[in-house]
Amino acid sequence: MAFTKKQIKEILDRLEKEYPDAGCALKHMNVFELLICVVLSAQTTDVSVNKVSPQLFARYPDAKALAQADQEDVQEIIRQIGMYKTKSKNIINLSKELCDKYDGQVPDDYDKLVELPGVGRKTANVVLAVGFDRQRIAVDTHVFRVTNRIGLVKEKDVLKTELALMEALPEPRWARAHHSFIFHGRRCCSARKPECERCCIADMCRKEGVKTNG
């Protein structure tokens, strides 16, 4: 049985109260830096990206500079994060496209964003939500795990989860909910050992075997 609108509101309210600081953990000064950081964050942690991005942006502060970068130099800067060779190529090439097509600016359009090298659905949604204040739901591993685990949706892949969440959640709360689910996944509802005994929504969770206090 699906959650009611009232129950969904209660879940979102509790998560927002539990994680008032929930937001983008990637350090950035503008939309260009945000885009690059999100591309770099694929299959690695935000903490790792935040360690390498200051040096990267000190050397290459905008799309024009990064478009002209030597790939080996970029690789050396971001070497400690996963897939650094592929990512260095992607961020240089996407910078070239930004310069060629959009005068070095990041477009605020989903279809244009996903055409950029290294930019997929999740990255585009994060950029639109965080960089342009749009209501989007970006489904990463945390959002996928938490929303399916608690029974908010019941889907087998990321895309179906995103579409189901768009149906289930009130649109004005999409972007904020995305961050709340991420923080909950990081701080409480972990993959291997969720801390159900201190979960703020444990009594509403529909995970099989979870003890509730309601």
Residues 32-82 pLDDT 10s: 999 999 999 998 999 999 999 999 999 999 999 999 999 999 999 999 998
pLDDT for the residue numbered 2: 85
| Average pLDDT score, the chain | 94
Q: Which domain holds residue 171?
A: 5-22+137-198
Task: Say what the pTM is.
Answer: 0.91
Same domain, 112 and 162: no
**Axis crossing angle, helix 141-149 with helix 158-168, rounded to the nearest 10:** 60
Residues 192-206 pLDDT 10s: 999 999 999 999 999
- Is residue 209 in a domain? no
Domain boundary among 115, 132, 149: 132
From CA 188, how far away is CA 201, in angstroms rounded?
Answer: 11
pLDDT for the residue numbered 208: 57
Catalytic residues: 122, 140
Up-side HSE of residue 137: CA atoms within 13 Å toward CB? Answer: 26
Same domain, 124 and 150: no
- Is residue 66 in a domain? yes
pLDDT for the residue numbered 157: 94
- Checking if the pLDDT of 212 tops 80, the result is no
Taking residue 73's Cβ as centre, other Cβ atoms within 10 Å add up to: 12
pLDDT for the residue numbered 15: 98
Same domain, 102 and 171: no
- Checking if the pLDDT of 213 tops 90, the result is no
> How many Å from the N-terminal Cα to the C-terminal Cα in the chain?
17
**Percent share of the chain, pLDDT over 90:** 94
Same domain, 112 and 88: yes
Same domain, 70 and 104: yes
Residues 162-184 pLDDT 10s: 999 999 999 999 999 999 999 99
Residues 112-135 pLDDT 10s: 999 999 999 999 999 999 999 999
Query: How many domains are there within the chain?
Result: 2
Residue 164's CATH number? 1.10.1670.10
Confidence of residue 1 (pLDDT cuts 50, 70, 90): confident
- Is residue 152 in a domain? yes
pLDDT for the residue numbered 73: 97
Domain boundary among 114, 132, 150: 132
Same domain, 96 and 144: no
Same domain, 16 and 35: no
- Say if residues 105 and 123 touch (Cβ distance below 8 Å): no
- Is residue 153 in a domain? yes
Same domain, 161 and 77: no
- Is residue 206 in a domain? no
Own/partner pairs, 159-167, CB within 8 angstroms, 24+ separation: 159/121, 162/121, 162/125, 162/137, 162/138, 165/137, 165/139, 166/137
CA-wise closest residue to 143 among 110, 169, 172, 114? 169
- Checking if the pLDDT of 158 tops 90, the result is yes
Residue 45's CATH number? 1.10.340.30
Same domain, 119 and 39: yes
DSSP conformation letters of the chain: -PPPHHHHHHHHHHHHHH-TT-S--S--SSHHHHHHHHHHTTTS-HHHHHHHHHHHHHH--SHHHHHT--HHHHHHHSTTSTTHHHHHHHHHHHHHHHHHHHTTPPPS-HHHHTTSTT--HHHHHHIIIIIH--------HHHHHHHHHTTS---SSHHHHHHHHHHHS-GGGHHHHHHHHHHHHHHTS-SS---GGG-TTTTT---TT-----
Same domain, 113 and 141: no
Same domain, 98 and 123: yes
- Is residue 36 in a domain? yes
- Is residue 203 in a domain? no
pLDDT for the residue numbered 66: 98
